[in-house]
């Protein structure tokens, strides 16, 4: 005889208690003003935590929290390869079938934290759904290694991928770049530098709420708080990456992708961001400028989604599933269209 009635009752009680605690913490905490703007299925308890990076101590805590790797999708093989500087994790569908192309992926973390393992679930999910090889690249982090260290590592990873395309079973004409948050900003800067240096053309840019513009720190602090990545964290990340205070009148070329004056000739792009993400304005503006420069760019703005909502906060919510479906559709179209 089964006695699961009390178990179900206990689970319902705990679920209701957690939901009540979430509503209470968010309504009395610093995020209470933003709560009405968050999609209902993303109002999770972890949002009540104080998330801000503004010192070396906070950075150490963030890095420690990001140390564990994420899960790998079934049916995807992962191989670690060490390069002269850093390493890459190669995700490929099992079975040895020819790949439709390759995606060079960069993790997030505000240019100051993170590692390729953090995005194993995303990379293996993309490899499985798209039938492509996804190469997650490690890059040096600020403030220990400020710009251009991360971009130099990104260029080295792109060169490695092109040099080993035949070995990986990849068409060099179907190599895309992408990433989330700082990784998206790094991918955008890599596309610019690759164009200027005449490297093998990049087929597509998959930019997931990319961190593009250090001048965002100049904006007045909004009365509506930003979740997960806020203005204080943004200032800390950009200052560490640039090696000087963020938001100055000038910055080194390629350091902040949005500062580039001429965007013509860049690869087609997809940019996705939530409407309550700190990077919303800079991402929408970059998409507008790409389009104005004659670059084919699709912009997807997800209502009620905050920064990084699909990475451990609300990855099972319909809001984030809808966002990922849009991302997947754009990537699939890019890899299947004629070269």
Catalytic residue among 181, 226, 283, 310: 181
152 is annotated as an active-site residue: no
307 is annotated as an active-site residue: yes
CA 191 vs CA 85, 93, 160, 180, 232: distances in Å: 20, 26, 15, 15, 28
Catalytic residue among 214, 277, 283, 310: 277
255, 242 Cβ separation under 8 angstroms = yes
Rounded Cα gap, residues 244 and 241, in angstroms: 8
Coil, helix or strand at residue 319: helix
* Dihedral sign from CA coordinates of 194, 200, 205, 207: negative
Phi, psi (rounded to 5 degrees) for 78:
-120, 125
210, 178 Cβ separation under 8 angstroms = no
State the distance between the two ends of the chain, measured CA to CA, in whole angstroms: 62
264 is annotated as an active-site residue: no
Catalytic residue among 91, 226, 280, 307: 307
Q: Give the active site residues.
A: 181, 277, 307
């Amino acid at each position: 005889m089964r006695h699961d009635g009390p178990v179900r009752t206990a689970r319902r009680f705990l679920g209701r208690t957690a939901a009540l605690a979430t509503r209470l913490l968010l309504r009395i905490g610093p995020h209470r003003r933003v709560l009405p703007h968050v999609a209902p299925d993303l109002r999770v308890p972890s949002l009540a935590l104080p998330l801000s990076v503004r010192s070396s101590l906070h950075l150490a805590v963030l890095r420690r929290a990001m140390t564990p790797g994420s899960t790998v999708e079934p049916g995807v093989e992962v191989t670690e390869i060490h390069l002269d500087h850093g390493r890459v994790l190669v995700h490929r569908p099992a079975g040895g079938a020819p790949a439709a192309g390759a995606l060079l992926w960069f993790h997030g973390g505000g240019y100051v934290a993170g590692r390729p393992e953090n995005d194993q679930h995303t990379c293996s999910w993309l490899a499985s759904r798209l039938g492509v090889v996804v190469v997650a690249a490690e890059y040096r982090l600020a403030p220990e290694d400020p710009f251009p260290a991360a971009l130099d590592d990104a260029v080295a990873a792109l060169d490695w991928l092109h040099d080993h395309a035949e070995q990986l079973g990849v068409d060099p004409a179907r190599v895309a770049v992408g990433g989330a948050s700082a990784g998206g900003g790094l991918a955008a800067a890599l596309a610019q530098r690759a164009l200027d240096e005449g490297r093998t053309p990049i087929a597509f840019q998959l930019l997931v709420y990319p961190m593009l513009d250090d001048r965002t720190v100049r904006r007045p602090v909004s009365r509506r708080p930003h979740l997960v990545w806020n203005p204080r964290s943004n200032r800390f990340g950009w200052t560490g990456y640039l090696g000087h205070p963020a938001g100055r009148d000038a910055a080194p070329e390629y350091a902040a992708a949005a500062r580039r004056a001429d965007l013509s000739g860049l690869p087609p792009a997809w940019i996705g961001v939530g409407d309550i993400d700190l990077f919303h304005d800079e991402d929408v503006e970059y998409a507008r400028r790409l389009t104005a420069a004659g670059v084919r760019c699709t912009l997807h703005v997800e209502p009620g989604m905050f920064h990084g909502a699909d990475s451990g906060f609300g990855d099972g919510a319909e809001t984030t599933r809808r966002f990922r479906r849009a991302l997947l559709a754009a990537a699939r179209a890019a890899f299947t269209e004629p070269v």
